[in-house]
């Protein structure tokens, strides 16, 4: 390896917003995280399915409307022949 071209790789702290501190090695001394494995809902088992603003219902209504329009177009296409 060439000398004086690589960054220093020293001990570092990764600090989460929840207060968890992870010690590892990095080119930076301190890294601030927004979420970690201790407070992430997937890892804590507190994950919830939230249907905000009825997105699933809106999609199903749009799908039904599209299928009805396609069926109407197909019926109109058969009558012209």
The answer as to whether 77 is a domain residue is no
The answer as to whether 74 is a domain residue is no
How many domains are contained in the chain? 1
Strands 30-33 and 21-26: unpaired
Which residue would you say has higher pLDDT here, 78 or 9? 9
Other beta carbons within 10 angstroms of residue 46's beta carbon come to 9
The answer as to whether 1 is a domain residue is yes
Identify the domain containing residue 39 by its residue range.
1-47
The answer as to whether 25 is a domain residue is yes
The answer as to whether 2 is a domain residue is yes
The answer as to whether 13 is a domain residue is yes
- 3-state secondary structure labels for all residues of the chain: CCCCCCCCCEEEEEEECCCCEEEEEECCCEEEECCCCCCCHHHHCCCCCCCHHHHHHHHHHHHHHHHHHHHHHHHHHHHHC
Q: What is the pTM of this model?
A: 0.48
CATH of the domain at 36: 4.10.80.400
Q: Is the pLDDT of residue 5 over 80?
A: yes
Q: Is the pLDDT of residue 80 over 90?
A: no
Q: Tens of pLDDT along 11-57?
A: 999 999 888 999 999 999 999 988 888 888 777 777 666 666 677 88
């Amino acid at each position: 390896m060439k000398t004086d071209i690589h960054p220093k790789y020293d001990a570092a702290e990764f600090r989460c917003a929840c207060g968890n501190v992870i010690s590892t090695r990095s080119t930076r001394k301190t890294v601030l995280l927004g979420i970690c494995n201790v407070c992430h809902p997937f890892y804590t088992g507190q994950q919830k399915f939230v249907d905000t603003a009825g997105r699933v219902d809106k999609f199903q209504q749009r799908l039904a409307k599209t299928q009805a329009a396609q069926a109407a177009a197909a019926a109109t296409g058969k009558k012209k022949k």
